[in-house]
């Protein structure tokens, strides 16, 4: 999986924190640097410009279990049309 996303920015998050309850805005701005701020993340989500594992986000909802991890470890975040990020849950 990592070879497939070679060159794509990736971030690591704690799988236990993810399972305990993490909101998408926090995951995308606090736990990773996909967005520089919570405000920008909220604005982009409300505008329909963010997807996790090809599922468009509609609100700041809990990440887990709404978005299943690929191979129990990975999430692919799409920001806009061409910006992809890999999140690795360890």
Tens digit of each residue's pLDDT (9 = 90 or more) over 49-70? 999 999 998 887 788 676 788 9
Beta bridge partners of 74: 70, 88
Q: May I ask the CATH class of domain 13-81? A: alpha beta
Residues of the chain whose pLDDT is less than 70? 64, 66
Distance CA 23, CA 18 (A): 9
Residues in the chain: 90
Copy the structure tokens of residue 76: 């692919």
Phi then psi for residue 5, to 5 deg, are -105, 30
Residue percentage of the chain with pLDDT more than 90: 64
Q: Where are the chain's structural domains?
A: 13-81
Phi then psi for residue 37, to 5 deg, are -150, 160
Distance CA 84, CA 50 (A): 10
């Amino acid at each position: 999986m990592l070879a497939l996303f070679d060159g794509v920015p990736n971030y690591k998050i704690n799988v236990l924190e993810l399972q305990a309850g993490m909101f998408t805005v926090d995951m995308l701005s606090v736990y990773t640097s996909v967005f520089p701020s919570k405000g920008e993340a909220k604005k982009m989500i409300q505008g329909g410009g963010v997807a996790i594992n090809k599922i468009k986000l509609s609100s700041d909802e809990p990440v887990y279990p709404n978005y299943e991890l690929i191979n129990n470890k990975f999430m692919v975040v799409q920001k806009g049309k061409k910006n992809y990020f890999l999140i690795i849950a360890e």
